[in-house]
Structure 1
Amino acid sequence: MIGAESRERPRVVLGVGGGIAAYKACEVLRGLTESGHDVRVVPTEAALNFVGAATFEALSGHPVHTGVFTEVPRVQHVRVGQEADLVLVVPATADLLAKAAHGLADDLLTNTLLTARCPVAFFPAMHTEMWEHPATRDNVALLRSRGIVVTEPDSGRLTGVDTGRGRLADPREIVDLARLLLADPTALRRDLEGVRVVVSAGGTREPLDPVRYLGNRSSGKQGYALARVAAQRGAEVTLVAAHTVALPAPAGAEVVSVSTAEQLRTAVHAAAERADVVVMAAAVADFRPASRAEHKIKKRDGEPDPTIVLARNPDVLAELVERRRGAQLVVGFAAETGDDRGDVLDHARAKLKRKGCDLLVVNAVGEGRAFEVEDNAGWLLSATGAERPIPLGSKAQLASAMWDSVADLLAGR
């Protein structure tokens, strides 16, 4: 029974390279198993210097081997790759990238990489000098030319006191991208190379007094997924983020943190000056308090309740459409509910016409939908009149569907 259940779950091979970031593979492993995946860990011998086999075995429920001379009757060095639905290498060291690029097979992991016919994704981690070395860049380009996913690493603290490009992507991001690749093996193709993208995310906060603010329920997860997928498809991404401190910065993206609608407006317009695509996924407050109290507003017995006067915030999306340059694409987001004047799509069509953007992603919002959840669904409306539903899936899947449409529009211009 256990074996049958295991076969019904997506089968993921988690290769672990011999770098200090190997300990983060444990978080990836737990994230995948907890989301219903059957994960087998295949480390290199060097990786076991950082994390012991017992740890991987306990978290995965599978034995861990590194060589080709174990389970010989089962022809394990071939079978592991043949039976996988997805192979991830976390972390992918410069040595592993070189071996994979040139077809070397001196252990179980490199044999698995040669026999796998499923999607294969490398998540690099190494010092900046190693990532930028011409040999590594050539190996990455060769692997990508074969349809293998080699993601962009993060920037930040490396081993010791060093900082720079080459840090392993956050484990939550890796799990998210793994789910995306299982749903769509071509989702991370490099079709946005050289495209400059601006994405806004999160919810703005408009101060009422030193303690309180007007805000909304946006977590920023959808905007971050948009930035993450765009960066891994080759785009140069600037992410303008409002109150998303709990989310890991997307690897390969530049993050600009803002708070209020006015701050977001300034940052987005500045970044849009040199952008090919601007995506307004942030939930920007429509109104702000007309004045901010210098001190906390008190409730006092015997006194009337305070009256809060609101002022309208600028319409950033409409401004972007009005000021766009050349063939720049502008994408809007609409969080809608139906009412006595129409359903979600009625309101969305009217908004698309009113705003004048090229694409509008529409989410039906409500309890347990769109805001503060992991998955999303909606519709993609085009200024040409085309409409298509986006089925329920991870927010990365919705992001991928949107970037598919953007890539088609860019190719036609």
Structure 2
Amino acid sequence: MLEGKKVVLGVCGSIAAYKAAMLVRLLVKAGAKVQVVMTADAANFITPLTLSTLSKNPVHINYFNAENGEWDNHVELGLWADIMLIAPASANTLAKMANGLCDNLLCAVYLSAKCPVYFAPAMDLDMYRHPAAVNNINRLQGYGNILIPAGKGELASGLHGEGRMAEPEEIISLLASDIKKKLLLAGHKILVTAGPTYEAIDPVRFIGNHSSGKMGFAIADELASMGAIVTLISGPSAQQSKQPSVKRINVTSAAEMLEACLDNYPDSKLCIMSAAVADYTPVTIASQKIKKQDDHLNIDLKKTTDILKTLGEHKQPHQLLIGFALETENEEQYATEKLKKKNLDLIILNSLNDTGAGFKSDTNKITMIDKYLQKTIFTLKSKTEVARDICAKVAELINQ
């Protein structure tokens, strides 16, 4: 959920500032881009060098850098961030934030931020319970800021109770969970197929195609980044998902892919069939490697079960089904016929006649045709960008 997110981490003067090192490390490990803004007092508890090294970015403390004569632009930092996280948030900084005071860079960035702001208080028990602190926390929540409640435990004073900053792992989990809830496809189960199928001739040889699986994997990753619960059924492919939440099921043949689809489609809201499934498979598979003897070798083939058509027949009123059509002639005509014949809600057409489209390429050029025959033509794009276009349409269909 934090992959690619831009996070401004505010660190205040508190003994809990030592936890900021682990917090930065976990954010970076989760794929976030981190800029740290510290108060001057925070630098007494943890060095800027530590946080700079872990975040791989300079740490911001002052409005003005006397060494190079540069101004640290708080407005740019506030606009840059997708998330602002203030942890630890001291009683002093919470009071300034609640009352709009702006005597340091951190408070200036906070007042400039357009993104969600999370704050994790850290202070002693009596301070945390003081009506002034309680009022400031309530006021900040009233502004739309998101409280990460302090935990209970042993405090620096030796007292035991509330005021202890939430642990870094808890904060990361909360951020990821909160982001997921706000995503367009949060909680929707989506099935994606990708790659080729290999139809065995003998233990050594097979009939296959040139599909790499890149398109299907890009779609699965994008859906997962939008909060969907994704199951990816992949034929033989060297591709790897970038989203750890994607559940991958490996298959080899068209028959295995059919079985996996029938097992998983009933529980899915939507299925995107981007796999290049073989249309024919050998009638018999030789138990031993076929030796090269005659000048000619005839192999009897039979039709494989049409997976897309089968899913279309099983589709329930609450389900959606999207197919792909890779054509070389009469592209729109064939794609439209496939859309109607197989009971699809949307078909993604690409043509091998378009330079840069098709198998193995890192780019693709698609046309979307929906069940009302409304057509949307896209320019040549990277498969990652194409996946975003497809998933934006998926979100539109699901949320209609």
- Asked if Structure 1 and Structure 2 have the same fold, meaning a TM-score greater than 0.5 normalized by the shorter chain, the answer is yes
- 1:47-66 aligned at under 5 Å gives the runs 52=53, 64-66=57-59
2:222 is paired with a residue whose SS is helix
Which residue, 271, 285, 295 being the options, matches 2:288? 295
Which residue, 345, 355, 365 being the options, matches 2:332? 345
Identity of aligned residues (%): 26
- Answer whether contact 1:68 1:77 (CA < 8 A) is retained: no
Q: What is the distance in 1 between the residues matched to 2:8 and 2:71?
A: 18
Q: Does 2:74 correspond to 1:74?
A: no
- 1:277-316 aligned at under 5 Å gives the runs 277-300=270-293, 303-316=294-307
- Answer whether contact 2:61 2:106 (CA < 8 A) is retained: no
- 1:8-407 aligned at under 5 Å gives the runs 18-19=21-22, 42=35, 52=53, 64-69=57-62, 71=65, 73-78=69-74, 80-81=76-77, 84=80, 115=112, 133=170, 138-140=174-176, 150=179, 190-300=183-293, 303-338=294-329, 342=330, 344-365=331-352, 368-407=356-395
| One-letter code aligned to 2:395 | A
Q: What is the distance in 1 between the residues matched to 2:48 and 2:281?
A: 53
Q: What is the distance in 2 between the residues matched to 1:274 and 1:47?
A: 50
Q: Does 2:396 correspond to 1:408?
A: yes
Identify if the C-alpha distance between structure 1 residues 14 and 130 changes in structure 2 by more than 3 Å, giving closer, same or farther: closer
Identify if the C-alpha distance between structure 1 residues 43 and 258 changes in structure 2 by more than 3 Å, giving closer, same or farther: farther
Identify if the C-alpha distance between structure 1 residues 131 and 214 changes in structure 2 by more than 3 Å, giving closer, same or farther: farther
1:391 is paired with a residue whose SS is coil
2:296 is paired with a residue whose SS is coil
Q: What is the distance in 2 between the residues matched to 1:136 and 1:246?
A: 28
1:288 is paired with a residue whose SS is strand
| One-letter code aligned to 1:191 | L
Q: What is the distance in 2 between the residues matched to 1:298 and 1:110?
A: 77
1:397 is paired with a residue whose SS is helix
Larger gyration radius, structure 1 or structure 2: 2
Q: What is the distance in 1 between the residues matched to 2:361 and 2:320?
A: 28
Q: What is the distance in 2 between the residues matched to 1:255 and 1:217?
A: 21
Q: Deviation at 1:286?
A: 0.9
Q: What is the distance in 1 between the residues matched to 2:58 and 2:234?
A: 43
Q: What is the distance in 2 between the residues matched to 1:251 and 1:292?
A: 36
Q: Deviation at 1:210?
A: 2.0
Identify if the C-alpha distance between structure 1 residues 295 and 411 changes in structure 2 by more than 3 Å, giving closer, same or farther: same
Q: What is the distance in 2 between the residues matched to 1:114 and 1:130?
A: 26
| One-letter code aligned to 2:228 | A
- Answer whether contact 1:378 1:391 (CA < 8 A) is retained: yes
- Answer whether contact 1:363 1:377 (CA < 8 A) is retained: yes
Q: Deviation at 1:345?
A: 1.4
Q: What is the distance in 2 between the residues matched to 1:361 and 1:350?
A: 13
Q: What is the distance in 1 between the residues matched to 2:115 and 2:307?
A: 43
Q: Deviation at 1:398?
A: 2.3
Query: Alignment RMSD, CA only?
Result: 4.3
Q: Deviation at 1:231?
A: 1.6
Aligned pair count reads: 317
Residue range with higher mean Cα deviation, 286-295 or 260-269: 286-295
Q: What is the distance in 1 between the residues matched to 2:333 and 2:173?
A: 49
| One-letter code aligned to 1:355 | K
Q: What is the distance in 1 between the residues matched to 2:286 and 2:103?
A: 68
Q: What is the distance in 1 between the residues matched to 2:271 and 2:309?
A: 12
| One-letter code aligned to 1:71 | N
